Amino acid sequence: MTKRLAQVVLSGWWATFALYAQSPVSYQKEIEPVLKKQCLGCHMAQNKQGGLLLSSYSDFQKGGAKGPGFTTVVGYISGERQPRMPFGGKSLPDETIATFRRWVAEGSKDDSASSTAEVSKLHQPALYTAPPLVMAIAFSPDGKLLAVAGYREILLHEYGGKLLARLPGIAMRIHSLAFSPDGKRLAAVGGDPSERGEMQIWDVASRRQTASIVTSNDTFFGVSFSPDGTKIAFAGADKSVRLYDAETGKEIRKMDHHEEWVFGTVFGIDGKRLVSVSRDRAAKLTEVDTGRFIENVNLLREPLTAVTRHPKKDWIAVGGAERIPYLYKLDRPRAMRIADDSTLIRKFEKQDGPILALAISPDGQLLAVGSEVGDVRIYNLETGELKGKCTGHVGGIYTLVFHPSSKELLTAGFDGMVRSYDVSGNLLKAFAPVPLEKTAVARND
């Protein structure tokens, strides 16, 4: 009898002690992971249900249409407010709800470490146990340097020679690379899918990064320099086209003319107009100085993923899901009418897969087309005649570039190899653009 009483007393004491001994709830370790796993699907920037965003502490604090974040969210996850959250899913366990309550009672503190540590870790060069997917390659205007997109880095090669430098950055994926016309700068855009986008500007000679703009909630695509080298344009999964000052790295303008993801940009010859292509099927022409939308260059057919311009004329080639490359001119020969396609110069043959990459040779003679099924074909731009087929790829082609001499075409994509072909489609060489680890043991741990 007394023994049992003692036990009760003891356990009561222990419970009290345990309560006092509990360390305060950590936002970073106990709250944020739950929000990320359970809530962010509907309360991310793309959805923002109930006006509530839960992607950062400050957004959480701000709350949404139903009130300030912390207490309102606790009300909804506990079922005190209806409908209970997570909406349509299983209710959170009681312990988790209790943890949220305790965190609020303790003053809802943000104990997240500053993200600098993480970023500095990201600047370590990657270890490649398998070749990465190569999404972008670019030649310097003199043809001596070849930039290749790697994993959280850009690899700068002496073309035909050694790896000169590794330029690490934040973006996991570099979707697009472009040298400035004078060859002094290298611009790169990409990001981490569904998380953030990044635009980087590098000083080529010193190998130093002069700008890193991290913004948006998804990756960027299709970077291009204005012909005078002063401006950089790039496209985004956030349906935007952004214009930056190449010198200062400052945003000039963000344009939202598209209804869907935008994949490519290219300036007109005089730099006054910009073309952007999107999943919304349009190649949109905008005025660079004002951001004003002028008109659609093309007749809308199917989603577009690639665009490139003729080196000397205001002609663009576009392609995408329809698998057919089209050649358009930017200047319409007459006033636009309904279902007008008067800007169309030529329609090329249908490819075996959706088009992901297009390139026009610097001498303006050839068009190269790369598709999702590893198909690369070279055409005479003027006649549409098939000049060559480049074979040997495994998986999709994500990027194509002609050497400034117009005598070689470089391809890369899913299989992680860079291949060089002559303009008839004969393979000249193939190489892995990244230093591959000898063994792959690391993968078994």
Residues that bind other proteins (CB under 8 A): 36-38, 40-42, 44, 46-47, 55, 86, 89, 126, 128-133, 135, 151, 172-173, 175, 192-195, 219, 260-261, 279, 305, 353-354, 356, 372-374, 394-396, 398-399, 413-416, 439-441, 443-444
In whole angstroms, give the CA distance from residue 121 to residue 224.
Answer: 29
Q: Which is nearer to other proteins, 302 or 314 (CB)?
A: 302
> And the tokens for 76?
């909804």
Q: How far is the CB of 151 from other proteins (least distance, A)?
A: 4
Q: How far is the CB of 61 from other proteins (least distance, A)?
A: 18
Q: How far is the CB of 395 from other proteins (least distance, A)?
A: 6
Q: Which is nearer to other proteins, 15 or 440 (CB)?
A: 440
Residue carrying the six token digits 């948006």: 216
> And the tokens for 158?
């002496």
Q: Which is nearer to other proteins, 52 or 246 (CB)?
A: 52
Q: Which is nearer to other proteins, 17 or 87 (CB)?
A: 87
In whole angstroms, give the CA distance from residue 238 to residue 262.
Answer: 8
In whole angstroms, give the CA distance from residue 428 to residue 236.
Answer: 35
> And the tokens for 5?
């009483």
Q: How far is the CB of 133 from other proteins (least distance, A)?
A: 4
Q: Which is nearer to other proteins, 264 or 268 (CB)?
A: 264
Contact 275, 283 (CB under 8 A): yes
Q: Which is nearer to other proteins, 69 or 396 (CB)?
A: 396
Q: Which is nearer to other proteins, 185 or 393 (CB)?
A: 393
Q: How far is the CB of 361 from other proteins (least distance, A)?
A: 22
Q: How far is the CB of 155 from other proteins (least distance, A)?
A: 13
Q: Give how far the C-alpha of residue 120 lies from the chain's centroid of Cα atoms, to the nearest Å.
A: 20
Q: How far is the CB of 306 from other proteins (least distance, A)?
A: 10
H or E element: which one contains 92? Answer: none
Q: Which is nearer to other proteins, 133 or 344 (CB)?
A: 133
* Residues contacting 361, CB < 8 A, separation 6+: 311, 367, 368, 381, 402, 406, 409, 423
Give the up-direction half-sphere exposure of residue 373: CA atoms within 13 A in the CB hemisphere: 8
H or E element: which one contains 307? Answer: strand 304-309
- Counting other chains too, the contacts that 200-209 makes at CB distance below 8 Å and 24 or more residues apart are 200/154, 200/169, 200/171, 201/232, 201/246, 201/249, 202/154, 202/167, 204/140, 204/145, 204/156, 204/179, 207/156, 207/165, 207/167, 209/167, 209/169
Q: How far is the CB of 195 from other proteins (least distance, A)?
A: 5
